[in-house]
Structure 1
Amino acid sequence: MTAPNVVMIFAAGFGTRMGALTADKPKPMIELCGRPLIDHALTLALALNPERVVINTHYKAEVLERHLEGRDVLISHEDKEILDTGGGLKLARALLDASVSYTLNPDVAWRGPNPLSVLRDAWRPADMDALLLCVPTARAVGRLGSGDFSTDSRGCIRRGGDMVYTGAQIISLDTLDRVSESAFSLNAIWDQLIPEGRATAVEYPGLWCDVGRPEGLKLAEEMIAE
């Protein structure tokens, strides 16, 4: 199993933390530095020349799908219910048509190298089934609270610590078979991989900002401008 050549961008969420900003559009259509968040994510994805990019939709799907018309992306629409990250990835699996995939959240901002390139360079499929891109809390702009994970000398993760998950990872899609439900979080996969030593992390060398809240937009613009 080599480095991935497909990318999954999660864009189906309700964006409730954004308040009135998502009243008439999905969160990935909110603008950051004059461009919708989804366009920033697509720029990162397309820089790797992937064979396929899949974007899932649910809330205000027609707005996002209209924006993406004519682009070389595939849409995985979650019609009746939102499926969370794990369920959304499982539904999109046939479209991805691959054994391993990048996944990327669009509601974040970066200052530094392409996060997917950092993941690609650290991916060792013989040693891991999930590789999470994390950043120390000191370089996580707008982060509220503590981190998510810590790592050992081999890069294997455990819960708790000062490393923040950035919303970018590489994951073996075979791991989705571990959960039978149609709607579930990828946390359910990671929690099975952690005790097996198959869930790992690599540190992002730049700055990262959470853009999941309105105040995060201003922080992200300031971070990028610097």
Structure 2
Amino acid sequence: MIFAAGLGTRMRPLTDNRPKPLIEVAGRTLLDRALDAGRGAGASRIVVNSHYLGDQIGAHLAGQDVAISDESDLLLDTGGGLRKALPLLGEGPVMTLNPDVIWTGPNPLIALCDAWDERMDALLMLVPVQRATARLGGGDFDMDEAGRIARRGDYVFAGAHMIRPERLAGISDQVFSLNRIWDVLISEGRAFGIVHPGGWCDVGRPDAIPLAEDLLNG
């Protein structure tokens, strides 16, 4: 599942006339880079959700073996968006990917699949805050020796994760963030993390684009 429905407000003015996933970094759109990661990990189905300027997302994906989960009527946030897309995705566990990041090194989705085991209901890809290029603010999570995560620490959520989709049924709201599920799973000791060993850049603002291109060229 690739999250492409957001409004891209931090990326204005570049997103005034196009959705953020169609912004290019080093000559390739963020969405195409995310699709490369999904295909490279052997994903059996790929779904992209759309809302803001969704017709452009649809046109970009035309002719590709990618399903679109249409949120044009209501932006559902990450949790609600994933739950709506589940009929298109099939049985889990499910991988999710934010397209507005640049990675170097191993494919993060392959790493998540390799690390997944029966202890887990969610597995988050993390990067140390000191290696989080263009990140504003501190970390999101701490992690113990067994890989279980807790809130507030020196690791940043890197925008890729795996989850057992049946856990989404516990939220009654239509619009909700995956953070609500993660908090439940953290309390149960069922949320884990692994650390990406390569480079990572948050491409959330226009000034981050040259930083991401430098990372790719490095």
TM class, shorter-chain normalised? over 0.9
Verify: 1:119 aligned to 2:112, yes or no.
yes
Verify: 1:180 aligned to 2:172, yes or no.
yes
Partner of residue 32, structure 1: 25
Partner of residue 221, structure 1: 213
Verify: 1:91 aligned to 2:106, yes or no.
no
* Equivalent in 54, 58, 61 of residue 51 of structure 2: 58
CA contact (8 A) 2:4 2:48 kept: yes
Equivalent residue letter for 1:73: V
State the distance in 2 between where 1:19 and 1:206 align: 28
How far has the Cα of 1:100 moved from its partner?
A: 1.1
Post-superposition CA distance 1:149-192 (Å, at most 9, x none): 00111111100111000010010001100101111000000010
Equivalent residue letter for 1:189: I
Partner of residue 198, structure 1: 190
Verify: 1:171 aligned to 2:163, yes or no.
yes
Identity of aligned pairs, percent? Answer: 52
Post-superposition CA distance 1:32-63 (Å, at most 9, x none): 11011100000011112221100000000001
Partner of residue 102, structure 2: 109
SS in 1 for 2:13: helix
* Equivalent in 128, 143, 167 of residue 136 of structure 1: 128
State the distance in 2 between where 1:202 and 1:85 align: 21
Partner of residue 11, structure 2: 18
Equivalent residue letter for 1:56: N
The alignment's C-alpha RMSD in Å is 0.7
Equivalent residue letter for 2:111: V
SS in 1 for 2:59: helix
Verify: 1:42 aligned to 2:23, yes or no.
no
CA contact (8 A) 2:102 2:202 kept: yes
Post-superposition CA distance 1:86-140 (Å, at most 9, x none): 000000011001121000000000111101011111111x201000000001211
* Equivalent in 72, 77, 80 of residue 79 of structure 1: 72
State the TM-score, normalizing by the size of structure 1: 0.95
State the distance in 1 between where 2:65 and 2:159 align: 22
State the distance in 2 between where 1:9 and 1:97 align: 15
Verify: 1:148 aligned to 2:140, yes or no.
yes
Which ranges in structure 1 are unaligned for 5 or more consecutive residues? 1-7
Which ranges in structure 2 are unaligned for 5 or more consecutive residues? none
Post-superposition CA distance 1:49-82 (Å, at most 9, x none): 2211000000000011101000010000002110
Partner of residue 199, structure 2: 207
